[in-house]
Amino acid sequence: MNSNFILISYIVSAILFILGIKRLGKVNTARQGNFLSAVGMLIAIIATLFKMDAIPLEWVIGGIALGTLIGAITAIRVAMTSMPEMVAIFNGFGGGASALVASAELFKYLNGKEVYLAELTKNNSDLTTTMITIVLSVIIGSLTFTGSFIAWGKLQGKISGQPITYPGQNIINLLILVGVIIAAYFFVMNPENMTAFYVIVGIGLLLGVLSVIPIGGADMPVVISLLNSYSGIAAAATGFVLGNQALIVSGALVGASGIFLTNIMCKGMNRSLANVLFSAFGKVDATKTSPKSAEEISIKEMSAENAAYTMQSAESVIIVPGYGMAVAQAQHEVRKLADELEKGGVNVKFAVHPVAGRMPGHMNVLLAEANISYDKLFDMDEINDDFAGTDVALIIGANDVVNPAARHDESSPIYGMPILNVDYAKTTFVLKRSMNPGFAGISNELFGYENNYMVFGDAKATVSQFVETLKEEA
């Protein structure tokens, strides 16, 4: 088919992607935006099929069918709580695909050099540029692939959520980086040097592992967002290899929007990206732990029944959900609780910290799943002044985002992170399984506060007990 027609199709795809991302940014149009973007993808794929000289049906249909099957089944079956891991895995496959495509291009050159070179000349390109972009695509793509799987493992608890560090880590990483630059130099100078190429692939895969293991589980959302951006950059690099505009535009769009989103997430924690990536945050260092460890804090306990009575007689309750709520799958019970309280005339609001859960917006997704209207959900900035006039702050499985140490304790690893000011409420209830420290591995001084009561137990069981108690009373 006419190559102009294919280019026009790519332009249409690019427009649909941009409109899609734009509409994804508003609640009312988000779903439509995602649909537009999917249509853009379909157009790009169909146009590409027309571009191909020959379509080996068994490979194309087989590949698409297998990929669709795996993608669709996992996407439909995954629990909403595991969403961040799922995004990481899909993303890893995208990065892997880019690395594979770039590698295939190298083999295509090695198989028929004259033909390949003639084609490059025809397209006003040259071999050095192509090889440099192949190297970039392979490194970033492989790094995204393994990094995403490590991030998945950390969130699933298959790999320790604690930062993994070892002596000389920075020097080793630096040496590896120097190694890949040397290998890349030899490869670009002589693309037939397969040893150099395999070293590049190996280092790319290794870099993904090494750069993610020293980062604590609590920071995985930032890592996933960054890896998402990388997979975009890998796609764009592959676009340069192939001279394909669709890949470049879409890859650059994702790469740039991903970096910006990552930055927004870092700001939510009042930290820089460099700090997240290199400081092995959350590694509990004996010399640095805050003076009061969990044992030294004296806590007060309250039964679920009594806590329910307190909320019933309150005028206003702010519910603060965290990852613990997600793990316990308590979101539906939480909605029932909110309904019961509202029936009794209590004003109920939800306070969502920007990094609550494992991803920004994670809590919003879960609460929306439980059919809680999003106009009851408030961002940190919107609601933080309201705590002072609130009777009860109910903290369900959140920990670090409500730790007042972030405000004043300079020795705390989370010092400086904006937090929800739950301790300004008249009473706080913390629903918790046990006294273990939070995901960042630090103890929470809120638990020892005068106006705080711990309600121990599984979050879902505790909340349904609240609901039972309220129903009996009503």
Partner 1 sequence: MEQLIGLIFIAVLATFAGAELIGKIPPQLHTPLMSGSNAISGITIVGALLAVGASGDDKLLAILGFCAIVFGTINVVGGYLVTDRMLKMFKKKGSK
Q: Which residues are catalytically annotated?
A: 400
Q: Which of 7, 201, 209, 256 binds partner 1 (CB under 8 A)?
A: 256
Q: Report the alpha-carbon distance of residue 7 to residue 190 in Å, rounded.
A: 33
Contact present, 137 and 237 (Cβ < 8 Å): yes
Q: Is 121 in the site for partner 1 (CB under 8 A)?
A: no
**Least gap, CB of 20 to partner 1 (angstroms):** 7
Q: Is 183 in the site for partner 1 (CB under 8 A)?
A: no
Instruction: Give me 451's structure tokens.
Output: 């106006």
Residue list 218-237, contact with partner 1 (CB under 8 A): 224-225, 228, 231-232, 234-236
Count other C-beta atoms under 10 Å from residue 90's C-beta: 15
**Least gap, CB of 12 to partner 1 (angstroms):** 14
Contact present, 210 and 180 (Cβ < 8 Å): no
Mark 26-45 with x for binding to partner 1 (rule: CB under 8 A) and - for no binding.
xx--xx-xxx-xx-xx--xx
**Least gap, CB of 164 to partner 1 (angstroms):** 25
Instruction: Give me 397's structure tokens.
Output: 């499985």
Piece of the chain touching partner 1 by CB under 8 A; list 106-114, 164-172, 180-188, 341-349: 106-114
Q: What type of residue is 31? A: R
Piece of the chain touching partner 1 by CB under 8 A; list 85-93, 294-302, 394-402, 451-459: 85-93
Q: Is 142 in the site for partner 1 (CB under 8 A)?
A: no
Chain-centroid distance, C-alpha 127: 37
Q: Report the alpha-carbon distance of residue 270 to residue 272 in Å, rounded.
A: 7
DSSP-based three-state secondary structure for 416 = coil
Residue list 273-312, contact with partner 1 (CB under 8 A): none
Chain-centroid distance, C-alpha 235: 19
- Using the minimum distance from each CB to partner 1, give the nearer residue, 41 or 297: 41
**Least gap, CB of 129 to partner 1 (angstroms):** 6
**Least gap, CB of 360 to partner 1 (angstroms):** 4
Residue list 349-388, contact with partner 1 (CB under 8 A): 352, 354, 359-362, 364-365, 368-369, 371-375, 377, 379
Q: Is 96 in the site for partner 1 (CB under 8 A)?
A: yes
Q: Is 129 in the site for partner 1 (CB under 8 A)?
A: yes
Give the list of residues 6+ apart from residue 297 with CB closer than 8 angstroms, or none. Answer: 443, 445, 447, 448
- Using the minimum distance from each CB to partner 1, give the nearer residue, 48 or 306: 48
Q: Is 126 in the site for partner 1 (CB under 8 A)?
A: yes
Q: Is 267 in the site for partner 1 (CB under 8 A)?
A: no
Which residue do the tokens 């004003």 mark? 347
**Least gap, CB of 341 to partner 1 (angstroms):** 15
- Using the minimum distance from each CB to partner 1, give the nearer residue, 379 or 473: 379
Q: Is 79 in the site for partner 1 (CB under 8 A)?
A: no
Give the list of residues 6+ apart from residue 229 with CB closer than 8 angstroms, or none. Answer: 254, 255, 256, 257, 258, 259, 261, 262
Q: Is 150 in the site for partner 1 (CB under 8 A)?
A: no
**Least gap, CB of 372 to partner 1 (angstroms):** 7
- Using the minimum distance from each CB to partner 1, give the nearer residue, 236 or 394: 236
Q: Pseudo-torsion of CA 147, 150, 151, 152, nearest 10°?
A: 120
Q: Which of 153, 161, 214, 239 binds partner 1 (CB under 8 A)?
A: 239
Give the list of residues 6+ apart from residue 138 with CB closer than 8 angstroms, or none. Answer: 99, 102, 103, 197, 200, 201, 204
Give the list of residues 6+ apart from residue 428 with CB closer than 8 angstroms, or none. Answer: 392, 393, 394, 395, 422, 446, 449, 451, 452, 453
User: Of 420, 368, 367, nearest to 394 (Cα)?
Assistant: 420
User: Of 71, 211, 190, nearest to 143 (Cα)?
Assistant: 211
**Least gap, CB of 264 to partner 1 (angstroms):** 7
Q: Which of 12, 100, 127, 294 binds partner 1 (CB under 8 A)?
A: 100
* Range list of H helices, 30-82: 30-51, 57-77
- Using the minimum distance from each CB to partner 1, give the nearer residue, 215 or 265: 265
Instruction: Give me 121's structure tokens.
Output: 């000349």
Contact present, 187 and 306 (Cβ < 8 Å): no
- Using the minimum distance from each CB to partner 1, give the nearer residue, 232 or 324: 232
Q: Is 177 in the site for partner 1 (CB under 8 A)?
A: no
Count other C-beta atoms under 10 Å from residue 88's C-beta: 30
Q: What type of residue is 457? A: G
Mark 46-75 with x for binding to partner 1 (rule: CB under 8 A) and - for no binding.
--xx-xxxxxx--xx-xxx-xxx-xxx-xx
Piece of the chain touching partner 1 by CB under 8 A; list 119-127, 168-176, 393-401, 445-453: 119-127
Q: Report the alpha-carbon distance of residue 53 to residue 60 in Å, rounded.
A: 13
